[in-house]
Chains A and B, each alone.
Chain A
Amino acid sequence: DVKVTQSSRYLVKRTGEKVFLECVQDMDHENMFWYRQDPGLGLRLIYFSYDVKMKEKGDIPEGYSVSREKKERFSLILESASTNQTSMYLCASKNGRALHFGGYTFGSGTRLTVV
C-alpha cells in the first residue's frame, strides 16, 4: 500500500515562528498536495507540486510556501505563523500517469495550533 507519512500528528507553535510541516510518500508519485481542513469549510488546497522543484499555488496560498527538493518529500512552510493558521493540515499524493482515474492517498494529518 502507498503510504503518505506526515512527520507530526500534533504541533503547537507560537505566533511569528517559522513552521515546517513535512510529508513523505513511498510510491514514487509525481503529484503531491497540501490541504487545510477547517470545520464548515471542508478541505482547501494550499499548494501542489507535479514534479521535483515544481510548485503551483492552490486556492489559499497566502502565508504559506512549499519546497520539493526530492520526489518523495513535500514540505509546507509557514513563514511567520499566525493564529488564523491554526488548522488540520493534510498532505496527499497521486500517480500522475493515472491522470484522474485513481484516487489520492492522504496522510493522517497534522493538527497545528498557533498560540
Chain B
Amino acid sequence: GDSVTQMEGPVTLSEEACLTINCTYTATGYPSLFWYVQYPGEGLQLLLKATKADDKGSNKGFEATYRKETTSFHLEKGSVQVSDSAVYFCALSDPAGGSEKLVFGKGMKLTVNP
C-alpha cells in the first residue's frame, strides 16, 4: 500500500539555521504530495503542496520539490524562526488508491531556539 517515510526527530535548531526534513513515498499511482504543520495546541494546517513531477510548492519561506525519480518531497527553509517551532507532517493523496484519503508520515517535531 501507499506509505510515507519522513525524518522523525525531534530536532532542535537555533534561529536562522537551515532546515531540511526528508520525506520519501511509495505509491501505486501518481500522488499529490503535501506538507502539513501543527503548531502547539492546534490542528493541522496545509503548509504547501505539489501535484505533479518537478512542481515546487512554497509558503512562508518553506519549499519542497516533487521529485518523481527519487520519490521524494523534502521540505527546506533557509533560515528558521522561533515561530516555526511545530510538528511537520509529510503526506500523500493517491487517486489510484480509489479514495480521497491522506496517508501521513509519522511527523517531526521542530524546536527553534532564539
Contacts and interface: CB of A to CB of B under 8 A. Distances in A.
Interface of A: 4, 31, 33, 35, 40-45, 48, 50, 56, 58, 90, 92, 94, 96, 99-101, 103-109
B95 A103 contact: no
A48 B99 contact: yes
Contacts, number: 63
Contacts of B95: 99-100
Contacts of B105: 42
Q: Which one of A33, A100, A101 has the greatest number of beta carbons of chain B within 10 Å?
A: A100
A59 B95 CA distance: 17
Interface residues of B, number: 25
A106 B91 CA distance: 14
Interface in B16-59: 31-32, 34, 36, 41-46, 49, 51
